[in-house]
Amino acid sequence: MALFLLLIIVAIVLGIIGAVVHGLFYLLIAGIVVLVLDLVLGGVRLRRGRRHPPR
C-alpha cells in the first residue's frame, strides 16, 4: 500500500512540474505514465487478494 501511495505522489509531482515549467512537457507525460502503471498495479494486487477460502 505504501508503494501505491508513493507512486501516486510521484505521478502528481511530475505532472505538476511538467505542466507548470515551460519546456518540460515530457515530465507531464512521464507523470501520466507512472499514474496509469500504478493504477494497473493496484488493480492487479486488489484482484489477486480476493481469494475465497475453500468450503
pLDDT of residue 31: 86
Distance CA 28, CA 45 (A): 26
- In total, how many domains does the chain have? 1
8 Å CB contact between 14 and 27: yes
Which structural domain range is residue 21 located in?
A: 2-48
* pLDDT of amino acid 52: 66
> Among candidates 16, 34, 35, 37, which has minimal Cα distance to 25?
16
Asked whether residue 55 is assigned to any structural domain, the reply reads no
Query: Using one digit for the tens of pLDDT, what is the confidence trace for 1-55?
Result: 788 888 888 888 888 888 888 888 888 888 888 889 888 988 888 787 666 667 7
Put simply, whether the predicted model's pTM sits higher than 0.75 gets the answer no
